Structure 1
Amino acid sequence: MGVRIRQAGRGDRDTVVGLLDEAFMHDPVSSWVFPDEDDRRKVHGAFLGVFLDSALAGGWVDMTEDGTAAALWLHVPAGPPEEDDDTPVRMREIAGPENERAELVGRLTGEAHPHDRAHAYLMLIAVSPRHQGRGLGTALILPVLERCDRDGVPAYLEASSERSSRLYERLGFAFTGRTVDLPDGPHMYPMWREPGAGQVTSRG
């Protein structure tokens, strides 16, 4: 049975925030940003909502019709940003002014982000823990990669673990060679995909 996918709008914000909160509650990066689990449970969803708002404003969000999975994408143009990115500041404002890690993770990933070529940026992909292992994440990504291949557009992401980076390698992504090292925390794996890299076939 095919996976039905639609593009999310502002009216889906609460649903997608809830999904992001659930899916990333125990993610290595989220656990590093919010080492205290009680604190994480209080502000984690609102924190990830910053990324969702960016995707809704400057990209798009694909989600399954039943709300069990979503992918947040941005259109990133070539060249250095014309304006300073205030996302890291907003991340810290939401997480709490005393949480330096909330801003630092945004700045470190921003510094590693390539800007020499326009590309599609997969900010986050979330699958409800109760529905993982069913290929929903791949089903969300494949149509976008097919469009990238047709249009000659590269894609980029940061994997939050070495294990997840291996999963993305199957879709044609390649590690850029330098990790984003969070102080006293996990490593993130920037990955780039040239158009046409790997075999991409939609599953419906």
Structure 2
Amino acid sequence: MGVAIRRAGQDDRAAVTDLLDRVFRDDAVSGWVFPDPTDRQNKHGVMMGVFLDTALAEGYVDMAVDGSAAALWFSVPAGGHPADDAGPAELRRVVDPANERVEAIGRILDAAHPKERAHEHLMLIAVDSTARSQGRGTELITSVLSRCDREGLAAYLEASSTRSRALYARLGFVWSGDTIDLPEGPSMYPMWRDPMPVGRA
């Protein structure tokens, strides 16, 4: 049985921020941004809140109606969004001014982001630990991919592990073969999905 999905709004901010914080706090990329466990405990949720606010204002957020999963998406035009050189620095100012990695992660991912073709960008997807292996994340993603296929749009994401890379591959995403390497830290895997013909299994 499928999970019901709805578009999130400002009233969902606290719940979705908490979900993102819980799911990603022990992720390798979050550990690289906040190597000190105390800093991560205190500031990781703030960073997730900024990401969510940006998606609510400039993109869209889909969530399971029971609050167990959420996905942050952005619609990227051909040529990419206008350069925002101040954005990563502003993120650092709000989240942790003393931590240059908060700014660096934004600049590194922006530099690697494909800009040639319009696409939907899956920035983050979080599934609560109590709802794992129930298809929640897959349904959140495929609801957007179905629209991409109908509209002839590509999709893009950065997988943060080989495990998630394999999961996304099952949905039609293809790893470019290159990695996004965080200095003295983990690698991420940029993945692209061309639209599939509607009706293809």
Task: Give the TM-score band, short-chain normalised.
Answer: over 0.9
Question: Deviation of residue 59 (structure 1)?
Answer: 1.3
2:7 is matched with 7
Instruction: Name the SS for the 1:190 alignment partner.
Output: strand
| CA–CA separation in structure 1 for the residues paired with 2:135 and 2:40 | 28
Task: Please give the TM-score of this superposition, normalised by the length of structure 2.
Answer: 0.95
Please tell me whether the aligned partners of residues 28 and 160 of structure 2 are also in contact (alpha carbons under 8 angstroms). yes
Question: Deviation of residue 96 (structure 1)?
Answer: 1.2
Task: Please give the TM-score of this superposition, normalised by the length of structure 1.
Answer: 0.93
Question: Deviation of residue 198 (structure 1)?
Answer: 11
| CA–CA separation in structure 2 for the residues paired with 1:144 and 1:123 | 13
Q: How does 1:51-200 map to 2 (within 5 A)?
A: 51-196=51-196
Please tell me whether the aligned partners of residues 76 and 121 of structure 1 are also in contact (alpha carbons under 8 angstroms). yes
Question: Deviation of residue 199 (structure 1)?
Answer: 8.4
Instruction: Name the SS for the 1:184 alignment partner.
Output: coil
Question: Deviation of residue 87 (structure 1)?
Answer: 3.1
| CA–CA separation in structure 1 for the residues paired with 2:28 and 2:199 | 29
- Report the AA paired with residue 136 of structure 2: L
Corresponding residue pairs, total: 201
Cα 1:89–1:7 shift into 2, 3 Å: same
Please tell me whether the aligned partners of residues 148 and 154 of structure 2 are also in contact (alpha carbons under 8 angstroms). yes
Gaps of 5+ in 2: none
Gaps of 5+ in 1: none
2:50 is matched with 50
Please tell me whether the aligned partners of residues 71 and 126 of structure 1 are also in contact (alpha carbons under 8 angstroms). yes
Structure 1 runs (4+) deviating above 2 angstroms are 80-83, 197-201
Q: RMSD across aligned C-alpha pairs, in angstroms?
A: 1.7
Question: Deviation of residue 197 (structure 1)?
Answer: 7.7
Offset from partner CA, 1:117-144 (integer Å, 9 cap, x none): 1110000000112221211100111110
